[in-house]
């Protein structure tokens, strides 16, 4: 009798644990959606988790799919409306996702309509030109823009009001130039913008530091400034910040993942626990560094709180720059 009671109690405890979502199996069909065309930051973010999960976290390989449109809006709306309960599907986000949420570019949905899993790394804004550009410093670029705002052609992934536009807009504002007077060409993502820069179709690309590492090695581009609080380590250590050059601008870009709003608590808990393990491993540190990202970790409730705070901050900034009404 005592043995039966003991076994019954153990079985009950296991069922309770499963019901609470503490223990759960890995997804059978893992997928990461990059909300843009191949190339650029969303692709990089998906490839990072794809590589990391191969280190004993998943039995099935994760596939990366691309869902361009609206700089993340199509993916956000699709996951919420059509694929809200897919346990194995994570979607890449960046700081630009928070900005788009803040200014209403994701339509009727808000930051409360998905489940935020983890932020796993930080990137920083960068002001990039071709290696043969006449602009040797951020000051050169600002002075040329001030002299003739319509002559210098900026390009980036997203329309006026997007994350990449905001980077150059904040620098221009610090220099006394009306951001809306700049000549700006919008592209679907960072990959297209970099291609346009290489082809001479735009003169400046306000992109991300992580995207330029490979191009720097090939001597094809020059980074006029990184928009970080202080100089970055490693390959970008020689590049001055905008702050060093007299412009009080930094743009930190958190990168991470969310899942649909109806994903079961147990499945969400599996993702959070898995990211906690990965983020604590030296193997993940190496993979993150290889992609030009810097340590930054938030998971579960902490990730959710961070996202909501950032969206509120961007809402205030959007008002200051005249992108939205008070």
Residue 7 domain flag: no
Residue 5 has pLDDT above 60, yes or no: no
Residue 12 domain flag: no
Q: Higher confidence at residue 34 or residue 25?
A: 34
CATH number at residue 173: 3.40.190.10
Residue-level pLDDT at 221: 94
Q: Which is nearest to 40 in space by CA: 196, 177, 183?
A: 196
SS (H, E, C) 82-106: CCCCCCCEEEEECHHHHHHHHCCCC
Work out the average pLDDT over 72-97.
96
Residue 11 domain flag: no
> How many domains, the chain?
2
The per-residue pLDDT for range 183-204, each reduced to its tens digit, is 899 988 888 999 999 999 999 9
The per-residue pLDDT for range 226-251, each reduced to its tens digit, is 999 889 878 889 999 999 999 888 88
Among residues 252, 272, 296, the one where a domain terminates is: 252
Residue-level pLDDT at 1: 47
Residue 208 domain flag: yes
For residue 202, report the phi and psi dihedrals to the nearest 5 degrees: -130, 160
Q: Do 119 and 260 belong to one domain?
A: yes
Among residues 203, 236, 252, the one where a domain terminates is: 252
Q: Do 171 and 153 belong to one domain?
A: yes
Q: Do 242 and 275 belong to one domain?
A: no
Q: Give every CB contact of residue 280 below 8 A, 6+ residues apart in sequence.
A: none
Residue 23 has pLDDT above 60, yes or no: no
The per-residue pLDDT for range 155-179, each reduced to its tens digit, is 998 888 777 888 888 877 877 888 8
Q: Do 119 and 129 belong to one domain?
A: no
Q: Do 130 and 247 belong to one domain?
A: yes
Residue 9 domain flag: no
Q: Do 131 and 112 belong to one domain?
A: no
Residue-level pLDDT at 209: 86
Q: Do 100 and 131 belong to one domain?
A: no
Please calculate the CA angle 20-21-22 and round it to the nearest 5 degrees: 95
Long-range CB contacts (within 8 A, 24+) of 315-323: 315/102, 315/103, 317/102, 317/166, 318/99, 318/102, 318/103, 318/161, 321/166, 321/169, 321/173, 321/179, 322/180, 323/103, 323/160, 323/161
Residue 315 domain flag: yes
Residue-level pLDDT at 31: 98
Q: Do 58 and 142 belong to one domain?
A: no
Residue-level pLDDT at 326: 63
- The range of the structural domain enclosing residue 210 comes to 124-252
Residue 15 has pLDDT above 50, yes or no: no
Q: Which residues of 180-216 are buried (b: 16+ CB within 10 A; e: fewer)?
A: eebbbebbbbbbbbbebbeeeebbbbbbbbbbbeebb
Among residues 252, 279, 299, the one where a domain terminates is: 252
Mean pLDDT in the chain?
88
- Portion of the chain with pLDDT greater than 70, in percent: 92
CATH number at residue 301: 3.40.190.150
């Amino acid at each position: 009798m005592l043995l039966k009671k003991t076994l019954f109690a153990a079985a009950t405890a296991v069922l309770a644990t499963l019901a609470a979502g503490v223990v759960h199996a890995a997804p059978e069909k893992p997928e990461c959606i990059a909300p843009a065309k191949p190339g650029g930051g969303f692709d990089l973010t998906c490839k990072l988790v794809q590589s990391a999960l191969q280190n004993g976290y998943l039995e099935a390989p994760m596939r990366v799919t691309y869902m361009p449109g609206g700089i993340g809006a199509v993916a956000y709306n699709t996951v919420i409306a059509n694929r809200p309960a897919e346990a194995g599907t994570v979607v890449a986000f960046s700081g630009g996702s928070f900005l788009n949420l803040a200014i209403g570019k994701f339509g009727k949905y808000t930051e409360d309509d998905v489940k935020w899993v983890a932020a796993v790394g930080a990137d920083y804004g960068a002001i990039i030109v071709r290696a043969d550009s006449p602009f040797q410093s951020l000051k050169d670029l600002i002075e040329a823009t001030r002299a003739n705002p319509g002559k210098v052609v900026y390009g980036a992934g997203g329309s006026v009001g997007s994350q990449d536009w905001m980077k150059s807009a904040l620098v221009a504002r610090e220099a006394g130039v009306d951001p809306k007077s700049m000549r700006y060409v919008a592209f679907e993502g960072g990959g297209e913008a970099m291609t346009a820069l290489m082809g001479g179709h735009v003169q400046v690309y306000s992109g991300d530091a992580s995207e330029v590492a490979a191009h720097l090695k090939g001597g094809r581009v020059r980074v006029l400034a990184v928009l970080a609080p202080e100089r970055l380590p490693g390959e970008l250590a020689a590049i001055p910040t905008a702050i060093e050059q007299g412009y009080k601008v930094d743009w930190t870009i958190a990168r991470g993942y969310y899942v649909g709003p109806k994903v079961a608590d147990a499945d969400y808990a599996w993702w959070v626990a898995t990211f906690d393990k990965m983020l604590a491993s030296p193997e993940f540190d190496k993979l993150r560094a290889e992609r030009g990202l810097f340590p930054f970790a938030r998971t579960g409730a902490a990730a959710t709180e961070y996202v909501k705070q950032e969206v509120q901050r961007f809402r205030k900034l959007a008002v200051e720059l005249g992108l939205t009404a008070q």
